[in-house]
Amino acid sequence: MNADEFFENHSIDEKTKISPISLRFIKNREFDKLPRVKFIGFVRLIELIWVN
């Protein structure tokens, strides 16, 4: 499963409380618009959902 399919199949915003704006930046690969610490935390949260 690629990232686009993953985001379509999971309601990440509800499970992680990541803001819709931040999720949009991640989905659109606009990583430079997020503070580094937040980005790393978001990736860890998404990774936990992806693995389970």
pTM for the structure as a whole: 0.60
pLDDT per position as a tens digit, 1-36: 666 777 777 676 666 777 888 888 888 889 899 888
3-state helix, strand, coil in the chain (%, to 5): 75, 0, 25
Q: How far apart, in whole angstroms, are the C-alpha atoms of residue 52 and residue 49?
A: 5
**pLDDT for 52:** 63
**pLDDT for 47:** 80
